[in-house]
Structure 1
Amino acid sequence: MSHDFPQNSPAPTPSRANYGFVLFLAMSSGFIAYCCWAVDMDNVMLSKLGITYLPQIYWAVALPVHFLVTLALIGFVIYPGLNLMCNRDLDEQQEFPDIAPLYGPTSVPPLSNLPMVEVSKTLYL
């Protein structure tokens, strides 16, 4: 059965299914090995299998904590910081405001015609 999907399509393909299944098996077996190492405090079960050299049990707790702290740092600090760096300054004029509409002295102009710096100062300062 041949599919004519574009090369960069996110549609499921047989090769993606194979890679996903292999990744699932690798992650499942890695998690089971991690749990065996973390639960076996005295290395009794693993020494019977011939595995005698293992890291300290401290790393069974430290590695997930380091991973979660790194993930939180990336998610809450680095990623928003990169997004803010990609934006332009608030006082740069990217759009020319429409000066054609005339409003009465008591009417409120739409937000799109207000300068962004003025809106930010009013809302956040």
Structure 2
Amino acid sequence: MPQPSPGPSPERAAYGFVLYLASYILFALFVIWAYVPDEVLHSIGLTYLPTKAWAIVLPILGCIGAVSIPVVYFIINILHTQALEEEIEIHSKSNIPEPTIQNFDLSSGSVPPIVELDLATVCRHLNLGKDKLSPAS
């Protein structure tokens, strides 16, 4: 059984082309409905149409959705992030604790041992400037 791939395929190309054409056709129909007077639409037999107010409401709703969806995702991620003080972090028993790495000699060009850094220490080093770093308490 072939594995799914994110690469291009003939089926995806066909679906993409159909969606491309459908989006232009729907946009053209929307513009025609928004700009053509109701009398002309009624004369060709189109009587069951929404009011013209939706011609303004739909683009506004689209803009509000485009702005609010990333904000909502950001808020959800913030709410699901654990505090630094939580003991939910995963610690491996095979890693060397952080203070013993200071005794390792790196002058020979060797690779330092694997250590488990505290999350607060990593955040402090990533988010503070060099002049604001203070020893961990």
Whether TM exceeds 0.5 here: the answer is: yes
Q: Percent identical across equivalent pairs?
A: 32
Gaps of 5+ in 2: 92-96, 104-115, 129-137
Could you tell me which of 75, 78, 82 is aligned with 1:84? 78
In the other structure, the counterpart of 2:6 is 10
Q: What is the 5 A alignment of 1:34-113? A: 34-40=30-36, 42-76=37-71, 78-92=72-86, 94=89, 98-102=98-102
Gaps of 5+ in 1: 104-111
TM-score (norm 1): 0.67
In the other structure, the counterpart of 1:119 is 124
Deviation at 1:115, TM superposition (A): 5.7
Q: Residues 8 and 86 from structure 1, CA distance in 2 versus in 1: closer, same or farther, beyond 3 angstroms?
A: farther
* 1:21 partnered with 2:21: no
Residue aligned with 2:99, SS: coil
> What is the alpha-carbon root mean square deviation over aligned residues?
3.1
Deviation at 1:82, TM superposition (A): 2.4
Residue aligned with 1:100, SS: helix
CA deviations on 1:72-107 (whole Å, 9 max, x unpaired) are 11112x11122224433221353765111449xxxx
Instruction: Compare 61-70 and 88-97 and name the one that shifted more.
Output: 88-97
Q: Distance in 2 between matches of 1:87 and 1:81?
A: 10
